[in-house]
Amino acid sequence: MLIRVGSRGSRLALTQAELAAARLRGPGIEIALVPITTAGDRDRTSPFGEIGARGVFVKELEEALLDGRIDVAVHSAKDMTSTDTDGLAVGAYLEREDPRDALCGTATLRAGMRVGTASVRRRAQLLALEPTLSIEPMRGNIDTRLRKRGERGLDAIVLAACGLDRLNLGKEIGHRFDPDEMVPEAGQGALALQVRAGEEHLVGAGDHGETRRRVEAERTCVAVIGGGCLAPVAAHHNGEHLTALVAAEDGSWIERRSGDDPGEVAAALMPFVSA
């Protein structure tokens, strides 16, 4: 049996696809990796708001699934929209790795530093931690952003720790933000294996139940709030409870709520969404 696994073509994405392939291979099962270019890959300079809403790194992979060109799509769960696309389902979440954000270039935030990130979620929380920071837009794959930090003379950039770890670049990390210090993106650290609805059996053996429980709670909370790449919204489940955040882009205010029920946590934050 041949399973065609679709992935973005970056070094990190292909590394993650290989992790998924290793879980799917078995007696009588062959894996073919199919690189697919997404809108977010084609345009590496424009702000996300000019490309589209959350999902700019998954849309083409989902279209390939629906068209029958691939059988499984491997996503960073944080890149997915907060609700499932009609006709598709997450058949498995691989066991979550480090969900934290990582500060690269220094171990501490200091007044007046120039920090690179394209994420409004990170921008808001960084400015809340140190209002005098200069936050500069930066996009591109991990290798590109690490290189641009030096070329542009930035003091630091912020990336997902899991991506650096997967590429054996953990040495670049000066500080890993505790989730209580900087709430991660919903799904950060987890890989989602998406399939056509009804074909969950193709990947079901790789599903990690505890990761699914936590990530689905995070995605549900963000879906109720209505957040996405363009809004400073975050959610993280630490195994005991869910914490979600809504913030102003300039970090002038941040509201956090915690609890067991994603709907209740989201409802507690709704008054601040349009603040």
Rounded CA-CA distance 275/264 in Å is 19
Q: Which of 79, 84, 178, 180 is catalytic?
A: 79
Which residues make beta-bridge pairs with 192? 75, 93
Over the stretch 22-45, which tens digit does the pLDDT of each residue have? 999 989 999 999 999 876 555 455
- Best CA proximity match to 272, nearest among 241, 236, 223, 233: 233
Order of strands, sheet of 30-35, starting from the edge strand that comes earlier in the sequence: 30-35, 2-7, 72-76, 191-196, 88-93
Is a pLDDT exceeding 80 seen at residue 14?
A: yes
Mean per-residue pLDDT, 201-212: 96
User: Would you state the pLDDT for residue 26?
Assistant: 84
CATH topology of domain 101-176: D-Maltodextrin-Binding Protein; domain 2 (3.40.190)
The domain limits of the chain are 101-176
**Model pLDDT for residues 66-94, shown as the tens digit of each residue:** 999 999 999 999 998 778 899 999 999 99
**Least confident window among 129-138, 193-202, 232-241, 266-275:** 266-275
Please check the confidence at residue 54 and state whether its pLDDT lies above 90.
no
What is the reported pTM? Answer: 0.90
Q: How many whole angstroms separate alpha carbon 83 and alpha carbon 208?
A: 20
CA proximity to 7, closest of 71, 94, 95 = 71
86 is catalytic: no
